[in-house]
Amino acid sequence: MENEPHSISSDMGVKMTDSSDNIPLLLTQSHPLKRTGTVWTAVAHIVTGVIGSGVLSLPWSTAQLGWIAGPFSILLVASATLFSSFLQCNTYRHPCPEEGPHRSASYLDVVHLHLGIRNGRLSGLLVNISFYGFGIAYVITAAISLSAIQNSFCYHNQGREASCESADVYYMLLFGAVQIVLSQIPNFHNIEWLSVVAAIMSFTYSFIGVGLSIATIIEKGHAEGSIGGISTSSGTEKLWLICQALGDISFSYPFSIILLEIQDTLKTPPPENQTMKKASVIAVTIQTLLFLCCGAAGYAAFGDNAPGNLLAGFGSSKSYWLVNFANVCIVVHLLGSYQVYSQPLFATFENWFRFKFPDSEFVNHTYMLKLPLLPAFELNFLCLSFRTAYVVSTVVVAIIFPYFNQILGVLGSISFWPLTIYFPVEIYLGQSNTVAWTTKWILLRTFTIFGFVFGLLCFIGCIEGIITEKIS
């Protein structure tokens, strides 16, 4: 079962055609790599992907929604994500979820297989937009954290009246330079170590944020916040803020688009879908508990003044060294998260180039390079040029639109409905041959409609926020 001749995976292009219109279809063929992943490496990949920049915006989101709607929204999005992940786990193998000979190693592959080439192209576009957007968000977040470290040391040494503000652009360029190097890691199977380190960092800074929030509450002697959330001058302004907050929350659960890539790293036995379901339950439970703690503690500490980035609220804290350490952890974590969401995109585009130009030495030839004091590594000119250009482009866009909360909200609203709800439900209905207008069919269609309305409101609200920020 490890390397079936008919499996679909992510390293070699193979040409297929859609029977309805004979349009070439790029799927991928079985790779020779041995799959060694376990439930815990899968949990590490998921945690690396989801407990990132999104968790730091949850106190702000809770402040817009209030004590009831805030936690409820987190639980609602978590439930939808977990339900969707269960549907996706069973699509990895086809036709049998546990022993089927065909493996789909990416979101694009599984949509192509079950819903046809047109839906496959649409899903591929949305997935890659999401991957690209996550990269932009991580560049912005890393720059904010690096700038906060520099400002903290400056204020501590020169006093609060000192002029310590620095331009985030320099830190964006620094983060991009490191990512150019890390992006030369061959593929998703080679970043397990990076995911483990990043997951440890994510827990560290999240717990520091919660701990500092609790300390602030104790110091004040009371908890801030209200049932209805922040007060605004008009109902329209409140509606836009609520939409942005919901978009930020939906951004905090984005692992559905990398679920199949993670599942493709798992060893068998047991069947991959069983392992992945266990990993999903463990990871979503951990992240939801952490998100609730972080959102609630941050809102209770700052109330209506909750910052868009939780750690930014502790800039003048006596424990500045602890805040700086948390920001270092964020940067290390984002180094890994950037790769978790970039490697699938790299594989998609590089496989396309190999499919289109099978005889090109620039595209296909790999050189072994040995530098002093370093182990030998593979160098491919296509990978070097494409990945470098990709990283540079994410940095440039981040410099132009450095709006943390609004960018997160737009990304969450774009990806949540189509990728977390619509396509998984459609694939499930097709696989299970569910009859129209049965109870199951009605419930799943209602789930899809609700997700669409939710995503649309979030998207409109976040676009309005970006326009307002850009104008002001």
Q: Provide the residue-wise pLDDT of the chain in tens; the chain has 472 residues.
A: 444 433 444 333 333 344 344 334 444 444 456 777 888 888 887 877 666 656 778 898 999 999 999 999 999 988 988 888 888 888 888 777 777 778 887 788 888 888 888 888 888 888 888 888 888 888 988 888 888 888 777 777 776 666 766 778 889 999 999 999 888 877 655 566 766 777 788 788 888 888 989 988 998 888 898 998 888 888 888 888 888 888 778 777 767 777 888 888 888 788 888 899 999 999 889 889 888 998 999 999 999 888 877 877 776 667 778 888 988 888 888 888 888 778 888 888 888 888 888 888 888 887 777 767 666 767 788 888 999 999 999 999 888 877 665 666 676 677 778 888 888 899 888 877 888 889 989 999 999 998 898 888 888 877 887 777 767 6
Q: Which spans in 32-116 are helix H? A: 39-50, 53-56, 58-89, 107-115
> For the chain, how many residues are written?
472
Q: How many separate domains does the chain show? A: 1
Q: Which CATH number is 256's domain given? A: 1.20.1740.10
CA distance 453 to 457: 6
Residue 18 counted as domain residue: no
Residue 377 counted as domain residue: no
Note the pLDDT of residue 15: 38
What pTM was computed for the model? 0.75
Residue 441 counted as domain residue: yes
Q: Which CA distances in Å does 364 have to 11, 347, 355, 358, 451?
A: 12, 13, 10, 7, 42
CA distance 399 to 393: 10
HSE of 394 in the Cβ direction (CA atoms, 13 Å)?
Answer: 34
Residue 451 counted as domain residue: yes
CA distance 181 to 184: 6
Residue 435 counted as domain residue: yes
Residue 130 counted as domain residue: yes
Rounded to 10°, the helix 192-220/320-356 angle is 150
Note the pLDDT of residue 96: 75
Residue 62 counted as domain residue: yes
CA distance 273 to 253: 20
Residue 389 counted as domain residue: no
Q: What residue numbers bound the domain in which 55 lies? A: 40-343+399-471
Note the pLDDT of residue 308: 77
Decide if 127 contacts 155 (C-beta within 8 A).
no
Decide if 77 contacts 253 (C-beta within 8 A).
yes
Note the pLDDT of residue 12: 35
Nearest to 401 by CA among 196, 168, 84: 168
DSSP type of residue 70: H
- Backbone angles phi and psi of 452, in degrees to 5: -65, -45
